[in-house]
Every structure is written in C-alpha cells, then in structure tokens.
A and B are shown apart, each in its own frame.
Chain A
Amino acid sequence: MNMMVNLKINGQDVSVPEGSTILDAAREVGINIPTLCYLKDINEIGACRMCLVEVKGARGLQAACVYPVSEGLEVFTNSEKARKARRMTLELILSNHEKKCLTCIRNKNCELQNLAEELGVDTLSFEGENIHYEIDDESTSLIRDNNKCILCRRCIGACDNQQISVISCVNRGFSTEIGAAFNKSMADVGCIYCGQCIVSCPVGALYEKSSIPQVQNAIDTEGKHVVVQTAPAVRAALGEEFGLPIGTPVTGKMVAALRRLGFDKVFDTDTAADVTIMEEGTEFIERFTKQEKLPLITSCSPGWVKFCEHYYPEFLDNLSTAKSPMEIFGAIIKSYYAEKSGIDKKDIYSVAIMPCTSKKFEAARPEHSTSGAQDIDASLTTRELARMIKQAGIDFANLPDEEFDQPFGEATGAGVIFGTTGGVMEAAIRTVYEILEKKPLDDLNVTAVRGLEGVKEATLKIAGKDVKVAVVHGTKNARTILEKVKAGEKYDFIEIMACPGGCINGGGQPIVDSKTQATVDVKALRAKALYTEDERATLRKSHENPYVEMLYKEYFGEPCSHKAHELLHTHYQKRSKF
C-alpha cells in the first residue's frame, strides 16, 4: 500500500498516493488541467507547458503532469498567472501551426483545436513563420505531415514504447522536426506500420493512407461485385466514432451500415479466423509431434510479421506459414467463393475493414496474389469505415441490427476473440486440445492467457504432454520473449501481436484523447466486448464451425493439404534493420 499524501488544490483538500503528480491529484477531484504533450505512460516529459500551475512557494509556474505531490502542497490551477501563461503558450504553438482545420483529417477530433476552444483563444496575436515540410506519403500505410506537427513527441514516445524507434527529433531550435534518420520516408526504414504513432498524435500530423476513393469507385462501378469482410476488433470500437461508450459491441449495426454503403456481400473475418486456427493448429500439432521448428509463433499480426522480418529474421522459420485471417479470406473469396457463386474473380473487388494500418502493407505484399491479382484489393481502417458511414449520411446509432451474409457469416467465439491479446492462443488451445485429447475441453475459458499483462506464460497438460505457451503483445514484449528463447528458454507455442493489447488497440482504431486514455482502461473495455460476444456464441470452437467443415469437405480436403498450402499459406523474407 502506498503512503497517502495530503495537499490542497484550489483550496480543496485532496489525498492521493505518494508518487502521484499534481495532474493525477487534480483529476481525482474533478479539476481539469489542460495538457497537450502528455500521454500517460507513453510521453510524460512536461515539454509543452500547457499544464502550468501555480505552486505555493515554488519559483515560477510548474508543469502539473510531471510535478510530484508532497505533503502540504498548495496548488492553484486557475490563477490569472497560470491562465495567462497557458494561453500565451497555446498562442505561440498556434502561431506556426498550419491552421487548415476545416480540411484536416482530425477536424472536430483534435486536442489542439479543443484546447483553443477551452482556453477561449479568440484572437491570434502572432503569425509566425511557417516552414513548409514535404508530406511523406510513400509508404503503403502511414502519412506524415509535419506541417501539422506541434512537436509534442507523443509519436516518438509511442514508437519508443514499441522499441522500434524509427522516428526521433531531428535538427534543433526552430528547425526541429520529427523524422527518421536522414529524412528517409517511413517506406525506407524499419517501420512496421503498427500505427501506434497515429493513435497517439493529438493533431492531424499522422494518419493512415486512405483507400476510400478506390473502394467507393468499386462500389459505384457497374458489374463489380464488391465483397467486404470485417475483423473482430472493429466491432468492439466502431461505435466510439458515433458517440457510443467505449466497449459497446456494434456488430449488427456495422453489418447494416456496410449493406447501406452498397457492399454486395458482408462477411465476417472471424470465419477465416476459424480457418486460420485449423491450419495453424494442425501445423502446431505436426511440429510439436516431430519436435521441430519450435516454438511455433503466430503470424496473424502483420506488424509483428514485419517486425520479425526486420529485427529477428532468425525466427522466420518459427513463424506459422498460415496466412492471417484477412489473407485467408482474400484467397478463399477469389477462389472457392468465385467458383461457387459463378462470378469471374476479375469482377470481384475484395475489401477488408481492419483495426490496423499494417494490414494495408500486408494486402499489398506480392505473395498475397494467389488469384493472379491482389487477393485483397483494399484494406480500410476502422476510422476510414466510420468516415464512409458519415459521408453516406447513415444514422449509425439508430440502425437496426443485421446479420452477416452466408456462407461466411458464421463464426465461432474462437474467431471473435482473435481481436485481443491472448485470443489467438485461446482459440488454438480449444481446437488443439480437442484434436489431441479426442474429448471436449471442460472449461473453454482459458483464463491463463487472458488479460493485459505484457508477457503471459502457461504450461498446459495436453494428451499427457506439457505444452508451454506464451502470449505477448506490443513489440517491446516481443523482444523480451524472443531474447528469452535465444537464451535457451523452451517454449512450444507463442502468440505475438504487434500492438499493445492486440488488435483492439490497433493503429487503425478510433482515436481516444489523452485524458480519456489516462482515466479509462480503453483496451480492457474493448476486449470485454469481444469476450462477451464469445461467451454468448453458441459455437465457441473453430473446428465446430459448420461452414469451415463444409469448406474443407468441398474444397480443401483437410487442413494443411496440398491445396490448402497453395492458397492458405505464405512465406516471409528478411528485411534490413535500418
């Protein structure tokens, strides 16, 4: 138990644990101190000076976000001196900010814009020099626009937290900008496109490369059969874009919205996740029986796969060769589905809605073109889908719940939990256990691999043998576990997701402002939405999905068959570290 510290904020008594900051203490009693560069656990550097407060006895104003409380401290957050200083700071930040708010991607969802409103900035006293920066839009996934950047360094904090660190502060003083070494594009460095920088950015300096025009064009083209699939994590967060509370599952409304947007078929990526489990589970059983190429490491997360290719190529043989659910679906749609529905695969336009910016890179990989063209024509983020819904004038919150289209609309609970850390492992365990034990698993909730701890380990007894599994999320933790493997620790099966918390917290998800991130456990709430859907599902094991059974019976034969290998498996390549 931490020692409690008593202090006064604006004359109000507050008692908070030792080690808290003035900002924490103020929030405890509902006093709002504006912040801008502060992002809890990611960027706590007191650089922007927006949170200045008066502290009795201290010289000058102090940054509340980094000032530790002490017994008897007296703080004034709303004094004239503090207000004036904050306003001046904000005006100076605005003086060389590209103020094209109306056409900015973050219009109405911008922390800088909000601050200008909250602090009552009604005139701008200064018009500073605006250096013009080239926009970096060369990568498949991320766009960096330094004209909008306010140098808060939250993106650097996010990139460092992932232990990728491809961006840093470059140059000095007024020439300071955020960039990669030698001003290289994100396309030419070891960026994994996880997009954690995007969801950390308070303004419009970072965003995904949009494919909305291409998708809209396909929908508008006569004769194009436009198919869409949605990843599990999307349904757990899309509602936030329309004012629904964090953690509200909106599966039915999302399906209804997609239909109203004009997609010809609305499928569930979770069905393909069930196929992934069949392939990956079989692969695991094979490798485990032969005791070769262990540990098997999951390959659903494109950010993690790219990370492995850049930074740990020695583990490429350990990666499951099974494609990600998105690409499995992509291959099935342009093969089995095209044949079965009598549509020429050239007329099919295949769209995926993903919580992810790295999926755009995965979709563009040349190896994912089993159909002769890219299997996935466009991968949109959750945010892009929300934009399309808004632009189409759809009243999302009042939509009726609708069901996915068949045959790929039926998924098990196992497929649903793919969207959160531990979900792929849990889904795999449910299937692998029953195949090896030849009897039903008593408790389907494999709680040992759930939760938001960075590295989770468990040893399971399956068919008389110990199976040692590990689950990690965030590439920082990926490094931890891989270094352990290199040091000789033995694991059989490891699940790795690139984003902290897994796909629910992906770089393509709705952006949550800094204050909400500090006060609400966004990851846990979104994950809960998925676990609830799993609990409610009638089928909770991938191998029991009737459509998956049908798919193998009619088309693939059995998991890891020759045909399955052709369409559902892939390969990886070493990439440069720099």
Chain B
Amino acid sequence: MEKMTVLPFNGTKEQEAELKAVIENHKNMEGAAIPVLHKAQEIYGYLPLEVQEMIAEGLNVPLAEIYGIVTFYAQFSLYPKGKYQIAVCMGTACYVKGSGDILEKIKEKLGIEVGQCTPDGKYSIDATRCIGACGLAPVLTVNDEVFGRLTVDDVDDILKKYE
C-alpha cells in the first residue's frame, strides 16, 4: 500500500460554499463527477478526503468511485502543492543525464513520493515532462527558479536554500 502523508485539512467556509454551489449545479446530471472534481481542485488546489466526501454526499455517488476516478487521472491530486514546488525534469535529455537519481535523492531526503507534499506543507515533488532546458540537463525547478547541470550531490545545497 502506498504510504499516505496527511496534511491537516484547512478548507475555508468560502471554499465550502463555492463547492456546494458547483455540486448543486451538477446534481442529477449524468457523469457529473469529473467536472465537479475539476472545479473542486480549482477551489482547493487538491482533493483531500474531506472534499471527496462532500462530493460523494452531494452527488450521491459512492466515495470509493470518486476516489477511483481521482486516482485514475493524473490531472487530479490527493495532495496540495507545497510552499516550494520542486519539479524534476524527466525529459529524455535530463533522464539520460541522471535526473532519475536526483529525483530518488529528493524523495529520500523529504520522505515523500512524487505527487505528494510533506506533512508541514513546505515541499512537494513533481516529475515533469521536458521543460525545454535540455542544454542544462539534468534540470530541476523550485517554484520559478531553475537549477541545471546537476549531480546528486547538489540536492542538499538546493534544499538548504528553501528551509
């Protein structure tokens, strides 16, 4: 079983009201789950248990089915994005230059999997397709900052910058 990191849910009343309105608009509509999930992700940034329960309840669709949809499509995320969003490029050039090892190192340092967020909400990791900086391969970005020509040993220093 994949280990799950759980962040406390911090949804606001406004967000809830917004989601409820979306659900109301889609009630009794066939195939409503996916559009509602899209909107919910727009509202909350991710789809935690609390949000999925609201959708399941509101649309009268089993929670297991909602969860099945969320885990099927890569577009949906069970985890929020961190304050620092680390994205490691898995494009061909970066990959052959060792970005896989760099990603492994970051996962190990942070104790989370790709797509997840650390329990303190600070870091999240994504594995991206080619970001078009092949000349700098292997490349990763943290928010808008780009780090290139990396080795595994650079990971510690990069993470230190964002403590």
Q: Interface on A for B, CB 8 Å cutoff?
A: 133-134, 164-172, 179-183, 189, 577-578
Contacts and interface: CB of A to CB of B under 8 A. Distances in A.
Contacts of A170: 67-68, 71
A182 B1 contact: no
B49 interface: yes
Contact of A181 (B2, B52, B57, B72): B52
B130 interface: no
Contacts of B62: 164-166, 168
B152 interface: no
- Chain B binding surface SS class: helix
B65 to A, nearest CB: 5
Contacts of A169: 68, 72
Contacts of A180: 64, 67
B78 to A, nearest CB: 8
Query: How big is chain B's contact interface, by range?
Result: 10 to 19
Given A169-B72, A181-B64, A578-B63, 16 more contacts: A133-B1, A164-B62, A166-B62, A168-B67, A170-B67, A170-B68, A170-B71, A171-B71, A172-B72, A181-B49, A181-B52, A181-B66, A182-B49, A189-B64, A577-B57, A578-B56
B54 to A, nearest CB: 11
Question: Of residues B2, B66, B67, B73, which shows the largest number of chain A Cβ atoms within 10 Å of its Cβ?
Answer: B67
B49 to A, nearest CB: 6
Contacts of B72: 169, 171-172
B150 to A, nearest CB: 28
Contacts of A168: 62, 64-65, 67-68
B16 interface: no
B64 A165 contact: yes
Contact of B64 (A167, A172, A577): A167
B2 to A, nearest CB: 7
B68 A183 contact: no
Contacts of B66: 181
Contact of B67 (A133, A172, A181): A181
Given A171-B72, A172-B72, A166 B64 contact: yes
A555 to B, nearest CB: 46
A180 to B, nearest CB: 6
A181 B67 CA distance: 5
A120 B46 CA distance: 49
Contacts of A164: 62
Contacts of A134: 1
A159 to B, nearest CB: 8
A168 B53 CA distance: 15
B4 interface: yes
Interface in B63-96: 63-68, 71-73
A103 to B, nearest CB: 22
